[in-house]
A and B are shown apart, each in its own frame.
Chain A
Amino acid sequence: MTTSQQVSQPPAETGPQPARGAANRRRLPGGAMVWVLALLILAAIVLSKGVFIRPSNLTTVLYQTAVVGVLAMAQAYAVISKGLDLSIGATAILAALIIGDSSSADPQFLPHLPLPLAILFGLVVGLLVGVVNGFLAGRTAVPPFIITLSTYLVIVGVTFMLTQGAPVTQPAQVLKDLGEARVWILPVPVLLWFALIVVGHFVLSRTKPGAMLYAVGGNETAARLSGVPVARIKMFIYAAAGVFAAAAGLLFLARTGSVSPSAGSEFMLMSVAAVVVGGIPLSGGQGKIRDVVLGVLILGIAGNLMNLMGISPYLQMAVQGAIILVAVGANQRLAQGRGV
């Protein structure tokens, strides 16, 4: 009870602490990725001869990054729980199609709904997909990777059956207007992304399900033996991922004004890329929303810079692949330095 006991302890028994210095290093906000981002921004300014730093360009970067940004948060939840959600990209497109078609004046395959109801409809469908994923992940021994691979295929199939492969191009005009509307210089979709970052961060760091999510990802057995309702937490994780994915679909629709069923097959992969570039280990139990945001920004800025430099899209993909490898390699080096 007393602090004097603390002081009088022999220091001998604390054992070797090679982690001390590393632990200090780790306390830098955001760790190594903050520096990578800073260097990247600096490089972008220099290489683009200042074009990068113009407000209009910065807005474009955020505008283009928002959709993947929201999807990557959904993915982060799954990855922190030691899972993976392959279905979020497809869920986003499904939600976008539902919102776009049912809010349109001339719906192709759904009844017409007022915009707020249409949005709600899309979000609820996202939630349902997530609930199915979460139920299976919590109650069966099938790995989340397989579960969400199956739901991904089911969703893609359903999407094509509904739309007959045709894109939805006429969502409610209000939605398009909102997608282009700005508050100060920031487009509404970007603001929505920011709001979701705050929500995602709060849930993960300040709520009971958030704390339990880390426990489940870190060691499921120990979590269960500590009274964590593992099945319920998994339900929560994938349900949250489903809703986030649907929200990403909404952003995508608002920004582009149209959505094709075949769009966004790379969304899911980009979400995984952003999570790992941000330094969240696939082994689970670790990672913060801040990390995902960093990962998304690094990939987004790199893409923007290559656009500004006129690099071909094919080469851009190759470069992004290299970025992912380098980032993961660097993060693992750091983790080893910490004595993991």
Chain B
Amino acid sequence: MTDDVLVRMAGITKSYPGVAALRGVDFDLRAGEVHCLIGENGAGKSTLIRMLTGAEQPDQGVITISGQEYGGLRPALAHRLGVSAIYQETDLVPQLTVAENVFLGHEPRGRSGAMDRAGMRREARRVLDELGVTLPVDAPVSELTAANAQLVQIAKALSRNCKVLIMDEPGAVLSDHELESLFEIVRSLRARGMGIVYISHRLEELMLIGDRVTVMRDGQWVQTRAVAETSVPEIIRAMVGRELSDQYTKTAVVGDDVVLSVRGLTLRGHFEDVTFDLRRGEVLGLAGLVGAGRSELLNCIFGAIPADSGTVTLNGQPLKARSPQQAIEAGIGLVPEDRRGAGLILSRSVQENLTLPSLGRLSRGMVLRGKELAAVCRSYVEDLRIKTPSAAQPVRLLSGGNQQKVVLAKWLARGTTVLLLDEPTAGVDVGAKSEIYALMDRLASDGISILMASSELSEVLGMSDRVLVMAEGRLTCELSREEATQEVIMSHAVPMSAAIAS
């Protein structure tokens, strides 16, 4: 690590009508370091980053990049200065090829002024080689996995001579294995003298990749420490401003009776011959790498995708759910991985979202029972402590954790007996995470059975009574809570045909 300061942000202040989003924040980034930025949702991380990429200008404060002071940046200027950002939602154009995306907006031109396609593909291949990855440069980005799409974004930044790379939650869509390869790339970029701002909710990631870590809370700088000199508990304390007792709450209350029984379920191209039982009050973890077929399995049980063969039995009755509607009527609920795209109707209110699956129960004939709708909503908002100014608030204005609580409340209000959770805490901040874990534990105690697919191993280990591991569409092993460790799970999650393109 050198002491060349690439970026220095001093006294950055930004207000929106009614709120001070940032109050006198200081931040600096040196060449050849990974500087982690962490804080709960709403702490001001994204706002600070928007100042650095020129998306917004600070009300007060100075940004110094490579020795030059600026009162505020514009996106074009930030680009010229070598600042690039990679966001959770990729800003790639899915229909264009890898090479076209890498050079989007600065396509190499031939002598005639026409686009130099051959040169573009050659350059794209060179940049990807530099990253040490092989990707088909002519494939449309829509055909890539989330992990590879992220690599294309990094390549895009490199092709622009980027000196400051901002990564916003890069690990959120990756399996642990993919994350490891991403880390290798990040380390090689660091070795080249690039400055990297790494934003993540996952503290474990920060401890692995970070050199320094800055904690923000309520729009203010709290502390900056060398990662080697701090610890996870200390960071959590700084983030939430209070001691967070053990994140996971787990009481074992597994009943004897099998509630959901899956036999030989197959969806060609995604998973094959999946067989397992889920007991009353059990939390069954489903671990595996991204692409192992977990999401598809949950969607299949839920009736959202028709299975090719196999049977599902619910409480001894064969369940032939050919649509989510039928599965819901039988008492199954799905909390999908893509909360914003599949879990919620973002433009509609908390109440409308929360009561949507229960409308049949809460109406007389075709006519809604307005008072009961409001009462149901109120009771779950209170019970799950959903933080919202009112039941009429559009859910898009809620934080990730509160949105997820609304999705869970939908199924509780419906009276669900089996909950299928797909990455239940993705994009949820630490405080809300432990609330969701506590809720899961309470639901299990109430006799609800939970099947939880998760890429976060600590979550699987912390919450599951039993763990199923899936690899390449097959269940590769079943572990009791006592047997399950990171090592055992990972050894079964990595495909045996270990030919993985990194």
**Which residues does A use to contact B, with CB under 8 Å?**
1-3, 5-6, 9, 12-23, 206-212, 214-215, 218-219, 221-229, 285-286, 339-340
Q: Let me know if B42 and A225 touch, CB within 8 A.
A: no
Q: Select one of B42, B359, B383 contacting A15, CB under 8 A.
A: B42
Q: Select one of B219, B323, B343, B363 contacting A208, CB under 8 A.
A: B363
Contacts of B195 in A (CB 8 A): none
- Is B344 part of the binding interface, using a Cβ–Cβ cutoff of 8 Å? yes
Contacts of B399 in A (CB 8 A): 13-15
Q: Let me know if B366 and A209 touch, CB within 8 A.
A: yes
The answer for the CA separation of A207 and B370 in the assembled complex, in Å, is 10
Q: Let me know if A21 and B17 touch, CB within 8 A.
A: yes
Q: Select one of A21, A210, A219, A227 contacting B325, CB under 8 A.
A: A227
Contacts of B344 in A (CB 8 A): 219, 222
- With A20-B18, A218-B345, A285-B347 known to touch, is A227 a contact of B357 (CB < 8 Å)? yes
The answer for the CA separation of A21 and B19 in the assembled complex, in Å, is 10
- With A222-B341, A224-B324, A225-B342 known to touch, is A16 a contact of B334 (CB < 8 Å)? no
Contacts of A340 in B (CB 8 A): 396
Q: Let me know if B382 and A221 touch, CB within 8 A.
A: no
- With A6-B382, A16-B19, A224-B304 known to touch, is A219 a contact of B363 (CB < 8 Å)? no
Contacts of B328 in A (CB 8 A): 226-227
Q: Tell which of A1, A13, A339 has the most Cβ of chain B within 10 Å.
A: A13
Contact with A along B382-426 (1 / 0, CB 8 A): 110101010001001101000000000010000000000000000
B48 to chain A, nearest CB (A): 12
Q: Select one of A6, A208, A218 contacting B359, CB under 8 A.
A: A208
Contact with A along B16-32 (1 / 0, CB 8 A): 11110100000000000
Q: Let me know if A18 and B18 touch, CB within 8 A.
A: yes
Q: Let me know if A16 and B363 touch, CB within 8 A.
A: no
The answer for the CA separation of A20 and B363 in the assembled complex, in Å, is 32
The answer for the CA separation of A208 and B361 in the assembled complex, in Å, is 10
Q: Tell which of A18, A226, A339 has the most Cβ of chain B within 10 Å.
A: A226
Could you list some 19 contacts between A and B, CB below 8 A? A6-B382, A6-B385, A13-B41, A13-B399, A15-B399, A16-B47, A18-B19, A208-B359, A208-B363, A208-B367, A211-B368, A218-B346, A219-B347, A223-B345, A223-B356, A225-B304, A226-B410, A228-B356, A229-B325
The answer for the CA separation of A7 and B82 in the assembled complex, in Å, is 47
Interface residues of B in 291-345 (CB under 8 A from A): 302, 304, 323-325, 328-329, 334, 336, 341-345
A19 to chain B, nearest CB (A): 5
The answer for the CA separation of A212 and B219 in the assembled complex, in Å, is 39
B71 to chain A, nearest CB (A): 22
Contacts of B359 in A (CB 8 A): 208, 211-212
A279 to chain B, nearest CB (A): 14
Q: Let me know if B16 and A222 touch, CB within 8 A.
A: no
Q: Let me know if B341 and A219 touch, CB within 8 A.
A: yes
Contacts of B323 in A (CB 8 A): 224, 229
Chain B residue nearest in CB terms to A221: B342
- With A1-B382, A12-B241, A225-B304 known to touch, is A211 a contact of B356 (CB < 8 Å)? yes
Q: Apart from A15-B41, A214-B345, A226-B410, what 4 extra A-B contacts exist at CB < 8 Å? A: A13-B387, A208-B360, A221-B341, A226-B328
Number of interface residues of B (CB under 8 A): 54
Interface residues of B in 1-29 (CB under 8 A from A): 16-19, 21
Chain A residue nearest in CB terms to B42: A15
Q: Let me know if B360 and A21 touch, CB within 8 A.
A: no
The answer for the CA separation of A319 and B255 in the assembled complex, in Å, is 72
The answer for the CA separation of A285 and B42 in the assembled complex, in Å, is 27
Q: Tell which of A3, A208, A223, A339 has the most Cβ of chain B within 10 Å.
A: A208
Q: Let me know if B356 and A215 touch, CB within 8 A.
A: yes
A86 to chain B, nearest CB (A): 24
The answer for the CA separation of A208 and B42 in the assembled complex, in Å, is 35
Chain B residue nearest in CB terms to A214: B348
Q: Let me know if A18 and B17 touch, CB within 8 A.
A: yes
- Is B140 part of the binding interface, using a Cβ–Cβ cutoff of 8 Å? no
Q: Let me know if A18 and B16 touch, CB within 8 A.
A: yes
Contacts of B218 in A (CB 8 A): 12
- Is B462 part of the binding interface, using a Cβ–Cβ cutoff of 8 Å? no
Q: Which 9 A-B pairs have the closest CB atoms?
A: A15-B42, A218-B345, A18-B16, A227-B328, A219-B345, A226-B356, A227-B325, A285-B347, A208-B363
Contacts of A9 in B (CB 8 A): 385, 387
Q: Tell which of A219, A229, A286 has the most Cβ of chain B within 10 Å.
A: A219
Q: Let me know if A3 and B241 touch, CB within 8 A.
A: no
- With A12-B217, A208-B360, A211-B352 known to touch, is A5 a contact of B382 (CB < 8 Å)? yes
Chain A residue nearest in CB terms to B393: A23
Chain B residue nearest in CB terms to A232: B325
